[in-house]
């Protein structure tokens, strides 16, 4: 393996899971994310020399977003974007189980399915900003870099997606206001 490839594997590939998650939020339908991820990694490898000490994770995710836009443009003839099926929620290679308590596990699975559905129903630009903040724990500057919008837009999208998710969650799960736990 040549040196460039070795540096790429050391600096960029640790972020493969984050890039995969991001692709899944862009493209909830199973399989689509795989293609976009692979294309993005290849592009990243070809453009690796532009990385130069900056934030490899934000850089890789920005390339995923670019690949997604490219794919989207080609698919614009399609009339709809499929939402994930119920049993797709666990698709993908699950992280180590985080619920040791089996009694809670099924309840939490239901809750998680509902949450996945509500998140998938958010507009893409809101969904991605929310997940980059809450799951990837990126700061506003990184999110702006990944999504290619100014920080002010990141802030307003974040506010709107949080408000929308809260409202829908209340409607679906709690059935009453102000009790999201």
Residues of span 31-50 touching other proteins by CB under 8 A: 34-39, 41-43, 45-50
Q: Is 159 in the site for other proteins (CB under 8 A)?
A: yes
Binder among 81, 82, 83, 90 for other proteins (CB under 8 A): 90
How many other β-carbons are positioned within 10 Å of the β-carbon of residue 16? 14
- For residue 97, give the DSSP letter: P
How far, in Å, CA of 108 to CA of 99, rounded? Answer: 9
As measured in angstroms, the least distance from the Cβ of 79 to other proteins is 17
60-89 positions binding other proteins, by CB under 8 A: 62-63, 65-67, 69-75, 89
Name every residue whose Cβ is closer than 8 Å to that of residue 141 and which is 6 or more positions away in sequence: 151
Q: Is 29 in the site for other proteins (CB under 8 A)?
A: no
How far, in Å, CA of 133 to CA of 48, rounded? Answer: 25
105-144 positions binding other proteins, by CB under 8 A: 108, 111-112, 115-116, 119, 130-131, 133-142, 144
As measured in angstroms, the least distance from the Cβ of 175 to other proteins is 15
As measured in angstroms, the least distance from the Cβ of 141 to other proteins is 7
DSSP secondary structure, 104-144, as one string: HHHHHHHHHHHHHHHHHHS-HHHHHHHHHHHTS---HHHHH
């Amino acid at each position: 393996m040549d040196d460039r490839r070795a540096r790429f594997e050391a600096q960029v590939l640790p972020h493969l899971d984050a890039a995969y998650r991001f692709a899944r939020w862009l493209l909830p339908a199973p399989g689509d994310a795989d293609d976009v991820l692979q294309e993005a990694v290849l592009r990243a490898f070809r453009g690796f020399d532009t990385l130069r000490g900056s934030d490899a994770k934000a850089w890789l995710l920005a390339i995923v977003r670019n690949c997604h836009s490219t794919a989207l443009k080609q698919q614009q003839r399609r009339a709809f974007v499929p939402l994930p099926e119920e049993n797709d929620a666990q698709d993908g290679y699950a992280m180590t189980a985080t619920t040791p308590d089996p009694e809670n596990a099924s309840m939490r699975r239901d809750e998680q399915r509902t949450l996945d559905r509500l998140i998938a129903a958010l507009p893409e630009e809101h969904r991605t900003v929310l997940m980059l903040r809450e799951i990837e724990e990126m700061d506003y500057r990184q999110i702006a870099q990944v999504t290619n919008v100014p920080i002010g837009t990141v802030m307003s999208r974040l506010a709107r997606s949080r408000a929308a998710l809260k409202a829908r969650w209340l409607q679906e799960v709690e059935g009453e206001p102000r009790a999201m736990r």
